[in-house]
Amino acid sequence: MKKFLISLLDLIYKKRCYFCKKSYENSFMCSNCYNSLNKNSLQAKMIYNNVNIFCAGKYEKTMQKLIRGIKYHKQKELAFYQAKFMSEYYKNLKLTNNYQVIPVPLFSKRQKHRGYNHMELVAEEFCKMTGLKLNTKLIKRIKDTKPQYKLNKKERIENLKDAFIVNKSELFPNLDVLIIDDIFTTGSTFESMITELNKNGIHNITCFAAATAN
């Protein structure tokens, strides 16, 4: 009887793929949908102040739904799949640096409203997969910036001016910095964080986004 009830509950609550809605793999993202994510070549998308900025994939179709699901629709379980995609790309880069992972921070008011920082969730999973250390205290966002997607390049730079502050005492010694974000468009967020870190004497930096919008 107990086994029957467990089997019945498994059937009723079987996980469905968030993307195709099928349940045959009993997962939040089936292998077909995961494999449909388009990967980028193993080259820096941009270089800023001698910092390489890499982007794992393209912000289209399934990737767009994946990122938006975590970010706006409280689909926290999808953070695992974004981290998996990023970690596979990262491992293929074969970087020799030993990093501390810095997820792009949210302004405190926005994080409180949302209930979590989506990139912290991704960073936690990413660190489990890569063995890198998570650092969420080194840099904070102190300005409630406007949504970047509404702005052009010039407006984005102005919007992010003085948006971040670095607490150098929270820097893990003997580890370089790997900043991770979800979407790369013009690179303004990374540029602002790199500039602030450089002001504090921190120069061994790499940036890494899950997807590029262009």
Kindly report, residue by residue over 51-102, the tens digit of the pLDDT: 999 999 999 999 999 999 999 999 999 999 999 999 999 999 999 999 999 9
Residues 23 and 117 reside in one and the same domain: no
Residues 105 and 154 reside in one and the same domain: yes
Residues 32 and 43 reside in one and the same domain: no
Q: Supply 61's token pair.
A: 């179709």
Residues 170 and 89 reside in one and the same domain: yes
Q: What letter does residue 100 receive in the DSSP assignment? A: E
Residues 3 and 78 reside in one and the same domain: no
Integer Cα distance of 115 and 112 in angstroms: 5
Residues 90 and 2 reside in one and the same domain: no
Domain limits for position 15: 1-36
Average pLDDT, the chain: 91
Section 131-142 average pLDDT: 97
Residues 101 and 1 reside in one and the same domain: no
Integer Cα distance of 83 and 95 in angstroms: 17
One-letter amino acid at 13 equals Y
Helix pair angle (118-130, 79-93), 10° resolution? 50
Of residues 6 and 61, the one with the higher pLDDT is 61
Residues 138 and 159 reside in one and the same domain: yes
Residues 156 and 84 reside in one and the same domain: yes
Helix, strand, coil content of the chain in percent (nearest 5): 45, 20, 40
What's the number of domains the chain is made of?
A: 2
> Residue 149: its pLDDT value, please?
67
Section 155-169 average pLDDT: 87
CATH assignment of the domain containing 66: 3.40.50
User: How far, in Å, are 69, 106, 108, 171 from residue 143 at the CA level?
Assistant: 25, 9, 9, 21
Residues 94 and 171 reside in one and the same domain: yes
**pLDDT of 5 over the 60 cut:** no
Integer Cα distance of 37 and 143 in angstroms: 33
Residues 89 and 42 reside in one and the same domain: yes
Section 109-138 average pLDDT: 96
Integer Cα distance of 43 and 116 in angstroms: 31
Q: Is 195 helix (H, G, I), strand (E, B) or coil?
A: helix
Section 129-141 average pLDDT: 98
CB–CB of 65/33 below 8 Å? no
Section 151-161 average pLDDT: 77
Residues 166 and 136 reside in one and the same domain: yes
